Structure 1
Amino acid sequence: MRFLRVFLVLAVAFGLAACGGGGKFRKYYGPEVTSVQVHKADRKMYLLHHGRVLKSYDIALGFAPEGHKQFEGDGKTPEGAYYITHRNPRSQFHLSLGISYPNTTDVAFAKAAGKPPGGDIFIHGGPPRPVSVRDWTAGCIAVTDREMEEIYSMVNPGTVIHILP
C-alpha cells in the first residue's frame, strides 16, 4: 500500500511538472520576424514579417519619453533605425534583447556637446519590483516578463528595429 501511495504521488508530481510550460525559454516555429517597429506615442511595439504584423505589445519607455535619446542619463528612448545586437538570458529584467544604440551619428552628436551618449538600451521584461508610473525605464522598451519570453523566442540578433516618435 505504501509503495502505491508513493508511486501515485510521484506520478502526479511528474505530470504537473510536464504541464509547467518549460520555464522562460520558449520555442517559436512561426514566420520569421523580419523587423520590429516601436511607436512611442502609442506605447506599442509590433513584430513584423515583411510588413505583416505577427504580434503587438503594449510597452513602457524611458521615464522622459518625449524626443530622441541624446545623452547618458536623459531618460529618453532612442528614435531611429537600429538593430537587435544580442540576446541576454541573464538580464536583471528577466530576459532582454540588446539594441544597437548608440550609432555613429548618436556618438558624434553627444561628442560635439561634450557628453557621453549613453548605451545599454534593451527590450526587456520587468520591472523587478512594482512601479507606480507608466514609463519607468532609463531609456529601454519594457514589456511584461511573459511577453518578453515570447519576444525573446521570436526575434533574432540582426533584426532591424525602427523606433518611431
Structure 2
Amino acid sequence: MARVPVNEGCATLRKVVVAEIRDTPLSVDECLTAVRASAVGGVALFVGMVRDHDGGRPVVELDYSAHPSARVELARVAGEVVALDGVRTVAVVHRVGLLQVGDLAVVTAIGAAHRAEAFAACRRLIDEVKARVPIWKRQLFTDGPPEWVGACCE
C-alpha cells in the first residue's frame, strides 16, 4: 500500500492512497495515517460498524459480498472525490465476508486543506460508495430468515 509522507510538500497534492476491499479486519489508524500530508489541514473520518439491529429486528451477523468490479468502482469513486476542491488525500477500505456485531465494515478518511472540505468530501465519499460500489450484505436475524440488502454500509 502506498503511503503519503507527512513531509509531502506539494500544496496541489491529490492522491488516492488506499482504495481496497478486504476480507480482514479494518483499521481506522491505517486510514488516518494514510491521508496525512503537509498540505492537509483537516481530516474527516467515517467508520461504519455492524449494529445489533435493523428496522427493529435483532441482527446477529452480516455477510458482505462484492462483485468482481467492486474494486475498480471503489477506486473510481475515490478518484472523483480526491478531485474535489480542497481535497488532498483519500483512503477508503470496505470489508467483505462474515462480520459480527461491532466489527468495522467500512472506513473512509479524507485529508483536505480545511475541515469544511474534509467533512463534505467524506460525506460524499461514503454516499457514493453506498450508491455505486456493488457490495451486498446478507443480514442474519435472531427472529427469522436472512435478508439481502443491495447497498453497502446501511
Structure 1 and Structure 2 fold alike (TM over 0.5) = no
Please report the TM-score for the alignment, with normalisation by the length of structure 1. Answer: 0.23
Question: Which structure has the larger Rg?
Answer: 1
Give the TM-score normalised by the residue count of structure 2.
0.25
- Identify the structure with the greater strand proportion: 2
